[in-house]
Amino acid sequence: MKMSMSRSINSSKRSVEKIPENTNVSKCYGKEIPMNKTFCVLLPLFLLFFAISCRANVIVEPAELTITITDNFLQENTSTNITILNDNNYTINVSWYLENPNPPSLLRPNRTFIENLSWIHVAPFWQLVDPYAIASFSIFLTIPQRNDLFDQHWEAWVTFTPHREHDNGVFFQEYAIRVYIDTPVSSAQPSIPDSNAQEHDFFTLLLITGAIITGSLLALFWFWKKKST
């Protein structure tokens, strides 16, 4: 009886000695769980909770808008506004930047990238939005009048980045607004006159007018001379 008792004690001692002294463990329901595994499980949950708590509650409308140019290329305010609602109890700073659909696979069917993003302007560049207040951003277009820009169907994104004032934290959510731009159809729009062609027509008209005046003077001179003789 004593021998079996001592063997069980010795075996328990050997099982305890198998665990290194510098290993941290936590016990749960009688099972030993290494602390490093617990940390790996809790860390992502903590980061997810922190990201959700830091994210500003913002509503951006509309989610997409279409600008159709029917008569002429638009070089002024489109009268289309984007509204930002700050549904938080603190002030947020809202800025924006322009980009092509990213990744490109998100480009809508029958749409292409605009040739130059600088043709799109959004004003103002940034705004401070008070708690539970609404701010507006206006879109302007400055598209050059070129014959190769007729009948185009572009897509660009205006991406807004709201974050808490005086806090450029890591966690914030971006809101991308799809902007569709349709230019006039070439058949419905008269071609843009060529400056060189205009100059050529002017000189041709000038030569014809000069020839008519010269011929008239010669005819009068000949008639006067014949009459005088």
pLDDT in tens for each of the 229 residues of the chain? Answer: 444 444 444 444 444 444 444 433 333 434 444 555 555 555 555 444 444 444 558 999 999 999 988 766 666 556 678 999 999 999 999 999 999 998 999 999 999 999 999 999 999 999 999 999 999 999 988 888 888 899 999 999 999 999 887 765 545 688 999 999 998 887 554 455 555 556 667 778 888 888 888 888 888 877 777 777 6
What CATH class has 58-188? mainly beta
Q: What is the pLDDT of residue 123?
A: 92
The full DSSP string for 76-106 is SEEEEEEEEEE-SSS-EEEEEEEE--SSGGG
C-alpha distance from residue 61 to each of 118, 156, 161, 177 (Å):
23, 16, 14, 8
Strand, helix or coil at 123? strand
Q: What is the pLDDT of residue 24?
A: 39
With a CB cutoff of 8 Å and minimum separation 6, the contacts of 134 are 83, 84, 85, 86
Terminal Cα-to-Cα distance of the chain (whole angstroms): 168
- The pLDDT of residue 13: 45
d(CA 23, CA 5): 29
> For residues 138 and 120, is the Cβ–Cβ distance under 8 A?
no
CB 94 within 8 A of CB 159: no
Q: Where are the domains of the chain?
A: 22-54, 58-188
